[in-house]
Amino acid sequence: MGDVCGIGPETIARLFHRAQPTDCFVLGDVGVMRRAVQITGGGLVVAEIDTAQAVAEVPANALPVLQAQALPADLLSAPWGAVDARAGAAAARCIEQAVMLARRAEVSALVTAPVHKEALAAAGVAFPGHTEMLQSLATEPGRAPPPVRMMLANGELRTVLVTIHQSLRSALDAVTFDAVLDTLRIAHRAARAWGQVAPRIAVAGLNPHAGEGGLFGDEEITIIAPAIAAARAEGIDAGGPFAPDTVFMRARHAPGHPGEFDIVIAMTHDHGLIPVKYLGIEDGVNVTLGLPFVRTSPDHGTAFDIAGTGVADASSLAAALAMARQLVSP
């Protein structure tokens, strides 16, 4: 259900108002979801279920909720639009329990509503966001964490990131041969899993004009190009490094403009996400690649400025649910 001080619960309620999906349920708090139904116009019955399988027995015009365990008792007292440790703790508990259901194969996919990084930190959660937390929860005891990557996608563009939630200065050091090659491998495997037999992958450079032959930086020559060559030697259809200010236009699938590529690999967070978000946040979906289960989320944050008003748009959440269905049934 995401952060209860933000718009996550009300976008879920609005989605059920609009579509009434019969194949999913909310892992969260029954009281929070009843409040979310009220502020989005009422008319839905919040039906508490005991198991994931019980969603099949829920009647029409109902929003099924599996009550998460060990949530703060005064969760409804957390104020709208504010960073609150109770909300951060509740969001983390929901994520943990959702992953447990996925790893037990009781659910096919997770669609996560937005969390707030400061609220997680206030609750003592040692992860800056969903991606890092999910990676840790997916790790088998005694084993190294699985390499994961963040993909942001809509109907026109799919971008996978080499680095994500870190300062730009530290991200530059994190752009290594292994990081780029791992990203190419993860993106290739993911695309094949969702039905693309031979995905075409473009790799954006790090520097202006992809370094201009070393004039503006040599990372393209010393790191990125060798990683692309190694990927191609493994049978991955990867090209580049391309100038990051034009490759996204070349990859965009639009009416009358079939994209040249299926995926773009970007070196840093904003390099990759700005083009996708510019095309429309309401259609964007965040996908975590490399996990042993499918996880998607809306392409927006907690929107504290409008939380509790009932006006939040559920379009991105609906797109995330549709993407999850697509990824589990390519």
What pLDDT, in 10s, does the model give residues 226-239? 999 999 999 999 99
Which pLDDT belongs to residue 285? 93
Rounded distance between C-alpha atoms, residue 69 and residue 121, angstroms = 20
CB of 197 closer than 8 Å to CB of 257: no
**Phi/psi at 268 (5° precision):** -130, 165
Interval 142-158 mean pLDDT: 91
Which pLDDT belongs to residue 213? 94
Which pLDDT belongs to residue 283? 78
- Domains parsed from the chain with CATH numbers: 1-146 (3.40.718.10)
Per DSSP, which regions of 234-313 are E strands? 238-242, 263-266, 285-289, 294-298
Q: Would you give the end-to-end CA distance of the chain in angstroms?
A: 26
Which pLDDT belongs to residue 15? 95
Peptide bond into 79 cis (omega under 30): no
Interval 17-29 mean pLDDT: 91
Q: Is 66 in a helix, a strand, or coil?
A: strand
Confidence band of 330 (pLDDT split at 50, 70, 90): low
Interval 311-315 mean pLDDT: 93
Confidence band of 282 (pLDDT split at 50, 70, 90): confident
Considering only residues 136 and 130, tell me which one the structure prediction assigns the higher pLDDT.
136
